[in-house]
Amino acid sequence: MKLKVYFFSLIVLGILSLQAQIKVIQKPEESIWGENPFLDASGYTDFENNVGKGIYFPETDLTTWEFKLDNVNPGNFSTYFNGLLVFNKGTGQTISDPQKGGKQVNVVPGFYYFYNPKGVQNQSVAEGSWLPISTVANAAPGTGGNPGGGGAPSNPDARLTVESAGFDGVYVGGEATTSSNKVKFKLVNKSLFRINQVDLSKAVTVSNAKNSGGSTLGIAKGQNTSVSLNGGEERTLSWTFVGTPKAGELKAVFDIAGLHAEQSMTVVKGTATFTNPSITANVVSINSAGASVQGVIDNNSHRLAIEIPYTNGKGAYDAVSVTKASAKGQGGDINDLTLKIAEGSFSGSGNLTASIEVGGDGVYQVKQMPAGQSYTIATFPVSMGSSTFTVEVKGFGGYTSTQTQSFNKNFTRNNCSSGYYGTSVNYKKEATATAVSGISQADAEKKAREKALAEAKKLVSDGGQNHANQNGQCKKSSSSGGGGGTQPPRRFYYTIGVTCHANVVAQDGAWTMLHDSYSSSYSSSSADTFLQEGYSSNRADALRDGARRMRREYEREGYRFAYGDPNCSVTLYPSGGY
């Protein structure tokens, strides 16, 4: 074992010079070959206090150090390395397994000793830790241990450590920071002595998007200018950012008087709050009584699109592509499925649209199931900036409903001979339909009713006219001044009021007049206007001519009508029509 290890400060009564790479004050006993320490002098008590007590250390890297425990016994390393001293050259953290490296701590180059006072009791190194000999406690002004520094005197057990404690706030490239954007480090005073008024305002530096311009991010001035910690106290300090970051890595480093810690995070292009961290998209595929639907996902007419709602959006986002193998579908069908979201920019709130791309043959047949059953086809974890959510695509038997609806409509016979018109006939049909919904039972019922009604309307439309032509009547049209034909004339209903002498209105009954039966000035357009609007500009003519027509009709039926009698007046009341 070729170790260049030398004793320093060797004050001896007699010097034994040996031509070896390890120089000792007397011939050593070679009994711990291949173990962690290069020297065990715990039983070296023959010389006085100032003789043979200094050693010249080799370098080691505590970030990869592991204790070897196979040969620990009362004769070798009996205290489980409590007091082992090394000169460390590494920067970072010791290993994470406490059974091999003790408690995990941050280290920087310098002398460290292993502090494990309960090693013998626990027969372990797990509760021990590497402690620096030199710390801020005996280096920084105001902390003791240096001339004029004040505070407590230096002490081998005076220890101050620093740990990373994370970032506060949201960091978006191009978005200025606010007072909520901070970096934090935790200081721990493991000694019994107070640390007084240490200026840590310049202890933290930051770098952002290294080798890329556009970042103005920095630490605000005048923070943590006078920090004091009592013995045994720990405190998390924060430093507020100023400026605008750029998308990329943000690194913060605490470094002062031998204390060192660093941490980093990623500044995102954009950010948003996704209101539903777990989104489910159902594809209906059912095979049950009364309904059979083969669910399909493909890259064409059955391409699956999924809406992803968000709020608090700002900045931009990169394209997303996540590929997962599908579960077995109908007939054992398996495809790679890729969830894709195109790059873009967030609004304040809205929806992102994700689509599912099918690999292989481009078609995935969803397994058919009874109503109400489901299975997971694929689950996609999605990360966008600092936010995450999942999209689950499921095959779903859906909800089914069967409903019956009826519809009716009047149809007029249109195949009468010339001079005749057809009467109207009502035609009614009923239809039953089954519908499937992937949303809810109520939605399935609504769809089934709509489907049944549509089918009933189609039945009425297809057969109504034929039914009227077979079951309606043909009636002879009046011929005065008008032609016959197969189109039925419009009918109007009138009530005749006769007032004689004492202004008593006699309701002589309702009469049906066919407006196309006359060719006089009482035209169909005048009658239509009067009857549809209640009154018209030619009301007087309509009343007069209508009364004349009505009188003729009455006279044809044997009635006598005192029209023209100076003692009587006639009024024509419209009362509807079709």
Condensed to tens digits (0 to 9), the pLDDT of residues 67-77 reads 998 888 877 88
Q: Which structure tokens are listed for 440?
A: 């809810």
DSSP label of 308 = E
Q: Is pLDDT above 50 for 306?
A: yes
Q: Is pLDDT above 90 for 99?
A: yes
Question: What is the DSSP track for 26-39?
Answer: SPPP---TTSS-S-
In this predicted structure, what is the pLDDT of residue 556? 53
Q: Is pLDDT above 50 for 29?
A: yes
Pairwise pLDDT comparison (501 vs 296), residue with the higher score: 296
Q: Which structure tokens are listed for 461?
A: 């439309």
d(C-alpha 406, C-alpha 385), whole Å:
55
Q: Pairing relation of β-strands 424-437 and 399-412?
A: antiparallel
CA atoms within 13 A on the CB side of 50: 2
3-class secondary structure, 416: coil
- Mean per-residue pLDDT of the chain: 77
Q: Which structure tokens are listed for 500?
A: 């004689």
First to last CA, the chain: 119
Q: Is pLDDT above 60 for 28?
A: yes
Question: What is the pLDDT confidence band of residue 573, given thresholds at 50, 70 and 90?
Answer: very low
Q: Is pLDDT above 70 for 36?
A: yes
CB-based burial label for 505 (10 Å; 0-12, 13-18, 19+): middle
d(C-alpha 549, C-alpha 43), whole Å:
144
* Across 62-66, 95-99, 542-546, least confident range: 542-546
The per-residue pLDDT for range 429-459, each reduced to its tens digit, is 999 998 888 778 898 899 999 999 999 999 9
Question: What is the pLDDT confidence band of residue 138, given thresholds at 50, 70 and 90?
Answer: very low
DSSP label of 5 = B
In this predicted structure, what is the pLDDT of residue 431? 94
The answer to whether the CB of 560 falls within 8 A of the CB of 550 is no
Alpha carbon distances (Å) from 323 to 189, 336, 358, 550:
49, 7, 10, 85
Question: What is the DSSP track for 15-75?
Answer: ----SSSB--SSPPP---TTSS-S---TT--SS-TTSS---BPPEE-TTS-----TT-BTT
d(C-alpha 421, C-alpha 412), whole Å:
9
Give the Cβ contact number of residue 285 at 10 Å: 28
In this predicted structure, what is the pLDDT of residue 54? 72
Q: Which structure tokens are listed for 533?
A: 């609007």
Question: What is the pLDDT confidence band of residue 287, given thresholds at 50, 70 and 90?
Answer: confident
The per-residue pLDDT for range 237-286, each reduced to its tens digit, is 999 999 999 988 999 999 987 899 999 999 988 889 998 999 999 999 98
CB-based burial label for 512 (10 Å; 0-12, 13-18, 19+): exposed
Instruction: Order across the sheet with 182-189: list the strands.
Output: 160-168, 182-189, 234-242, 218-219
d(C-alpha 506, C-alpha 233), whole Å:
111
The answer to whether the CB of 473 falls within 8 A of the CB of 412 is no
DSSP H or E stretch at residue 551:
helix 539-556
Q: Which of the listed ranges 50-59, 398-407, 512-521 does the model predict with the highest average pLDDT?
A: 398-407
Q: Pairing relation of β-strands 336-341 and 363-365?
A: unpaired
Question: What is the pLDDT confidence band of residue 400, given thresholds at 50, 70 and 90?
Answer: confident
Share of residues in the chain with pLDDT > 70 (%) = 71
Question: What is the pLDDT confidence band of residue 337, given thresholds at 50, 70 and 90?
Answer: very high
In this predicted structure, what is the pLDDT of residue 273? 92
Question: What is the pLDDT confidence band of residue 146, given thresholds at 50, 70 and 90?
Answer: very low
The per-residue pLDDT for range 548-569, each reduced to its tens digit, is 555 555 555 444 444 444 444 4
DSSP H or E stretch at residue 434:
strand 424-437
Identify the bridge partners of residue 5 per DSSP, sorted by sequence position. 22
In this predicted structure, what is the pLDDT of residue 4? 31
DSSP label of 493 = E
In this predicted structure, what is the pLDDT of residue 154? 38
Q: Residues 6 or more apart from 323 whose CB is under 8 A from it?
A: 336, 337, 338, 339, 359
d(C-alpha 464, C-alpha 413), whole Å:
10
d(C-alpha 333, C-alpha 337), whole Å:
12
Alpha carbon distances (Å) from 402 to 272, 276, 398, 459:
43, 33, 14, 18
Q: Residues 6 or more apart from 559 whose CB is under 8 A from it?
A: none
d(C-alpha 534, C-alpha 197), whole Å:
99
d(C-alpha 345, C-alpha 172), whole Å:
12
Nearest residue to 347 (alpha-carbon basis) of 310, 398, 391: 310
3-class secondary structure, 145: coil
Share of residues in the chain with pLDDT > 90 (%) = 46
Torsion sign, CA atoms 132, 134, 135, 137:
positive
Question: What is the DSSP track for 452-473?
Answer: HHHHHHHHHHHHHHHHHHHHS-
Q: Which structure tokens are listed for 371?
A: 């109503």
d(C-alpha 552, C-alpha 548), whole Å:
6
The per-residue pLDDT for range 203-215, each reduced to its tens digit, is 999 999 765 667 8
Angle (deg, nearest 10), helices 524-533 and 539-556? 110
Q: Is pLDDT above 90 for 465?
A: yes
Rounded to an integer, the average pLDDT of 385-408 is: 90
Pairwise pLDDT comparison (490 vs 356), residue with the higher score: 356
Question: What is the pLDDT confidence band of residue 492, given thresholds at 50, 70 and 90?
Answer: very low
State how far Cα 358 lies from the chain centre: 23
The answer to whether the CB of 171 falls within 8 A of the CB of 217 is no
d(C-alpha 192, C-alpha 55), whole Å:
28
In this predicted structure, what is the pLDDT of residue 544? 54
Q: Which structure tokens are listed for 338?
A: 């890729």
Identify the bridge partners of residue 492 per DSSP, sorted by sequence position. 513, 577
Q: Which structure tokens are listed for 378?
A: 């694929």
